[in-house]
Chain A
Amino acid sequence: MEEFLQQMVTGLATGSVYGLLALAIVLIYRSTSVLNFAQGEMAMFTTFAAWTMLHWGHYWIVFPLVLLMAAAIGGFIELVIIRRVEGAPILNIIIVTLGLFAILNNVATWRWGGIPKGFPAPPEIQVTGVKFFGEGALDIGPTVVSYHDLTILVFAVGIMAALYLFFQYTPLGLAMRATAQNPIASRLMGIRVGRMLAVGWALSAAVGAVAGMLIAHLILLQPPMMMGVLLYAFAAAVLGGLDSPVGAIVGGLIIGITENLVGTYTPQDILGPDMKLTVTLIIIVLVLLVRPTGIFGRRTLRRV
Chain B
Amino acid sequence: MLQVREVVAAYGPVVALHGVSLEVPEGSVVAVLGANGAGKSSTLRAISGLLRPRSGSIEFEGQRIDRLSAEQIVSLGMSHIPEGRQLFSEMTVLENLRLGAYSRFTGVAGSIREYRRRRQDFEAALKQIFEYFPILAERRNQMAGTLSGGEQQMLAIGRGLMGNPRLLLLDEPSMGLAPIVTREIFEIIETINRTQGVTILLVEQNANLALEIAHYGYVLETGRIALADTSENLRKSEAVQRSYLGY
Contact = CB atoms under 8 A, between A and B. Distances in A.
Interface stretch (B13-21, B99-107, B236-244): B99-107
Closest 10 interchain pairs by CB?
A190-B103, A185-B86, A190-B74, A187-B70, A189-B102, A189-B99, A181-B88, A188-B80, A190-B71, A192-B71
B106 A190 contact: yes
25 contacts: A171-B105, A174-B102, A175-B102, A177-B88, A178-B88, A181-B88, A181-B90, A181-B91, A182-B86, A185-B88, A187-B49, A187-B50, A188-B70, A189-B99, A189-B100, A189-B159, A189-B163, A190-B75, A190-B103, A190-B106, A190-B163, A191-B71, A191-B102, A192-B71, A193-B71
A181 B95 CA distance: 13
A181 B48 CA distance: 20
A181 B99 CA distance: 12
B50 A182 contact: no
Nearest to A184: B86
A298 interface: yes
Contacts of A191: 71, 99, 102
If over half of A's interface residues share one DSSP class (helix, strand or loop), that class is named, otherwise mixed; here it is helix
Given A184-B82, A184-B86, A187-B50, A174 B95 contact: yes
Given A171-B105, A189-B99, A178 B91 contact: yes
Given A182-B88, A187-B70, A190-B74, 13 more contacts: A174-B102, A175-B99, A175-B102, A178-B99, A184-B50, A185-B82, A188-B80, A189-B99, A189-B102, A189-B103, A190-B71, A190-B75, A191-B71
| Most B C-beta atoms less than 10 A away, residue of A174, A175, A190, A298 | A190
Interface in B173-207: none
B89 interface: yes
Interface residues on B, range: 20 to 34
Contacts of A186: 99
A192 B68 CA distance: 13
Contacts of A188: 48, 50, 70, 74, 79-80, 82, 86
Interface residues of A, number: 18
A266 B163 CA distance: 61
B177 to A, nearest CB: 19
A96 B50 CA distance: 28
Contacts of A185: 82, 86-88
B57 to A, nearest CB: 21
Contacts of B163: 189-190
A15 B194 CA distance: 60
Interface string A159-194: 000000000000100110110011011111111110
Interface of B: 48-50, 69-71, 74-75, 79-80, 82, 86-91, 95, 98-100, 102-103, 105-106, 159, 163
A148 B163 CA distance: 49
Contacts of B95: 174
A187 B87 CA distance: 12
Contact of B71 (A171, A182, A187, A298): A187
B99 A174 contact: yes
Contacts of B49: 187
| Most A C-beta atoms less than 10 A away, residue of B70, B82, B159 | B70
| Most B C-beta atoms less than 10 A away, residue of A174, A187, A189, A298 | A189
Contacts of B82: 184-185, 188
A298 B90 CA distance: 10
Nearest to A190: B103
A183 B118 CA distance: 25
Contacts of A192: 71
Contacts of B98: 171, 174
B102 A171 contact: yes
A222 B106 CA distance: 43
Nearest to A172: B108
A177 B159 CA distance: 16
A181 B50 contact: no
Contacts of A171: 98, 102, 105
Nearest to B159: A189
Contacts of B75: 190
A13 to B, nearest CB: 32
Interface in A175-225: 175, 177-178, 181-182, 184-193
| Most A C-beta atoms less than 10 A away, residue of B69, B71, B103, B106 | B71
Nearest to A187: B70
Nearest to A298: B90
Contacts of A175: 99, 102
